[in-house]
Amino acid sequence: MAFWESLIFASIMRRKDNFNLYELNTFRLDVVASKIYFPESYEEVREVVEEYPDAFILGGGSNILFATDRLERPVIAPEIMGIEKLYEDEAQVIVSSGAGEAWQALVDFTLDHNWGGLENLSLIPGKVGAAPIQNIGAYGVEFKEVFFGLEAVRIKDGALHTFNKDMCEFDYRYSAFKGSIKGQYIITRVYIKLRKDHQINTSYGGIKMTLNKLGLEKPSFREMADAINYLRRSKLPYPDQIPNAGSFFKNPIVGNKWLEDKKCTYTFVPHYRIDDQQVKIPAAWLLEQAGFKGYRAADAGFYEKHALILVNHGRASGEELWSLAQKARKEVETKFGLLLEPEVNIIEA
């Protein structure tokens, strides 16, 4: 990059040095970034990755545990905004969203237009760009069900690439961006497809009970989202109340033999069937049986109402939170023979 070009780059790109990421991670940890850039367009993303190809990419910070107090490599926090309808016919609607938009802003946009599909995914913290990476999901619905495509900048050369569903390799809380192409792209824009014949999914967890409690026999999309919000608020601590990153571990998938063996010991083993051979076991139940519901070590702890939520009660460090998570992991493995896999990304340097 020529000298005069670097001056233009510096004058346009919003940048901060020795920036505290406290407000940019939902565990509310004091982590200092040596430098951070906030690109607002694909072109700015391309420019900054050309300068710093080893930069750390930060979204909404809702799925990250910093087990360190400083990041020496530069941080890129994309702020590409804008939500709009691209296409609509009698069967479907296609919506485009900048990766820097808050996930709830996209949910609200669809609900305001009375388009169904995202109602069960309401109130999930984070930004739109993180949704395909994590294949976010809640209450029986996964993001891949509405995914249409995305655009992403390839870090090694700044080229803009388009991905369809097959290319993303979606699986349970997984995509190619967490596996085969991890760290190679920065997502800049996401496209979703919502079908006009969409049917509300009320089959998961306590949804039906919540709808009955709220007097909603045939809820609209907005009413369904309100019920999901009510359910989430009643069971899960929102980060603005108690700092956390949501579900800390994935729910393990086991075979029928494991389930039958445990039924000999426990009167009831909660599970959700995947197919004839496999079931999903709630990690929260495993952690509760291992004694971690409400467990606290100084300011690091597990939420008193839901054992799957690792929380920061005040001034816990990232190292303390990660140490407690590993302790819980080891106890569950000893007790059940299952090694819980973190759903949250652990950043140790």
Q: Helices 3-12 and 42-51 sit at what angle, rounded to 10 degrees?
A: 130
pLDDT for residue 313: 96
H, E, C per residue of the chain: CCHHHHHHHHHHCCEEEEEECHHHCCCCCCCEEEEEECCCCHHHHHHHHHHCCCCEECCCCCCEEECCCEECCCEECCCCCCEEEEEECCCEEEEEEECCCEHHHHHHHHHHCCCCCCHHHCCCCCECCHHHHHCCEECCEEHHHCEEEEEEEECCCCCEEEECHHHHCCECCECHHHCCCCCCEEEEEEEEEEECCCCCCCCCCCHHHHHHHCCCCCCCHHHHHHHHHHHHHHHCCCCCCCCEEEECECCCEEEHHHHHHHHCCCCCCCCEECCCCEEECCHHHHHHHCCCCCCEECCEEECCCCCCEEEECCCCCHHHHHHHHHHHHHHHHHHHCCCCCECCEEECC
Alpha-carbon distance of 249 to 94, in angstroms, equals 32
CATH number of 3-76: 3.30.43.10
CATH number of 83-234: 3.30.465.10
Tokens 């909404």, located at residue: 60
Of 3.60.15.10, 3.90.78.10, 3.40.50.150, 3.40.50.10540, which CATH number belongs to 240-347? 3.90.78.10
Tokens 């391309």, located at residue: 46
CB count within 10 Å of CB 219 equals: 19
Which part of the chain is CATH 3.90.78.10? 240-347
11 labelled catalytic? no
Cα–Cα distances in angstroms (integers) from residue 216 to residues 114, 222, 233, in the given order: 17, 11, 18
pLDDT for residue 8: 46
pLDDT for residue 168: 98
- The pair of three-digit structure tokens given for residue 257, joined into one six-digit string: 């033999």
- Reported confidence tier of residue 206, pLDDT bands at 50, 70, 90: confident
pLDDT for residue 234: 85
Instruction: Please say if the pLDDT value at position 341 is more than 80.
Output: yes
Which part of the chain is CATH 3.30.43.10? 3-76
315 labelled catalytic? no
Q: Over the stretch 27-73, which tens digit does the pLDDT of each residue have?
A: 999 999 999 999 999 999 999 999 999 999 998 898 899 999 999 99
Mean of the pLDDT values across residues 273-288? 95
pLDDT for residue 217: 85
Catalytic residue, candidates 173, 175, 320, 329: 173
Taking a C-beta distance cutoff of 8 angstroms, is the pair 155, 186 a contact? yes
Alpha-carbon distance of 261 to 282, in angstroms, equals 16
Phi/psi at 168 (nearest 5 deg)?
Answer: -80, -15
Q: Over the stretch 185-197, which tens digit does the pLDDT of each residue have?
A: 999 999 999 999 9
Instruction: Please say if the pLDDT value at position 300 is more than 70.
Output: yes
Catalytic residue, candidates 44, 142, 151, 343: 343
- The pair of three-digit structure tokens given for residue 245, joined into one six-digit string: 């990153």
Contacts of residue 55, defined as CB under 8 A and 6 or more positions apart, other chains included, come to 37, 48, 49, 73, 74, 75, 76
Mean pLDDT value across the chain: 93
Taking a C-beta distance cutoff of 8 angstroms, is the pair 343, 244 a contact? no
Identity of the residue numbered 202: T
Entry pTM: 0.83
pLDDT for residue 37: 96
Q: Over the stretch 109-164, which tens digit does the pLDDT of each residue have?
A: 999 999 999 999 999 988 999 999 999 999 989 999 999 999 999 999 999 999 99
Q: Over the stretch 214-233, which tens digit does the pLDDT of each residue have?
A: 888 889 999 999 999 998 88
From 89, 294, 119, select the one nearest 195 (Cα to Cα).
Answer: 89
The backbone region for 28, taken as left when phi is positive above 0, alpha when psi lies in -120 to 50, beta otherwise, is left
Alpha-carbon distance of 106 to 99, in angstroms, equals 10
Which part of the chain is CATH 3.30.465.10? 83-234
173 labelled catalytic? yes
Instruction: Please say if the pLDDT value at position 88 is more than 90.
Output: yes
Catalytic residue, candidates 175, 247, 317, 320: 247
